[in-house]
Amino acid sequence: MSQRVGLRLLRATQSFRATFRQPFQRRIQTDAAPEAAQSKLAALWASPVGPKTVHFWAPIMKWGVVIAGIADFARPAESLSLTQNLALVGTGAIWTRWCLIIRPKNVFLATVNFFLGVVGTIQVARIFLYQRSLKNQSLGESVKDAAKTQGHVAKEAVKHPEETIQKALK
């Protein structure tokens, strides 16, 4: 039994020495055929943000939110929600940056979030312009009034959470 171990060790060291005695070029030469270049479709399929992962399908679904926001361009500004559209602006801005920081970089998701922020910004501008036209105020005054209104809504929600939940459920 012990003779086999010694023989194996001897053969292993001989083959190890032989590789270092050869010139460098002879060691890297091979008879194997070069790898075929992948097509763009195959590269996308195998990529870390390809169709086999959530990193591909999440942006596809999120385009629905962007399209719904674009469809709201046809609605009158009086029926738009300022808080909802401010949330879209914030979400778009935060997640656009985050998608470019994380690994794997998901440029497709960053694009969706960028357009989500753009749609939200357009809607917020429409709301402020509508409120300004009602009160004949400047845009700055309209923004201050909207901030005060949203501040009062938030304070009431903190003071009376049960009532806020009941209003939201109605």
Domain extent listing, the chain: 51-147
Q: Which amino acid is at 128?
A: F
CA distances from 10 to 5, 16, 20 (A): 9, 10, 16
Instruction: Output the tens digit of pLDDT for each of the chain's 170 residues.
Output: 556 766 776 777 666 665 555 555 555 666 776 677 778 888 878 888 788 888 788 899 999 999 999 999 999 999 999 999 999 999 999 999 999 998 888 899 999 999 999 999 999 999 999 988 888 767 677 777 778 888 878 888 888 888 888 877 77
The per-residue pLDDT for 2 is: 58
Tokens at 132, concatenated = 């300004």
Distance CA(20)–CA(96), nearest Å, equals 52
* Size (the chain), residues: 170
The per-residue pLDDT for 73 is: 95
CA torsion, ordered 153, 157, 163, 165, to nearest 10 deg: 100
CA distances from 53 to 60, 78, 130 (A): 12, 40, 43
Q: Before 104, cis peptide (omega within 30)?
A: yes
Tokens at 27, concatenated = 């060691």
**Entry pTM:** 0.58
Q: Which amino acid is at 25?
A: Q
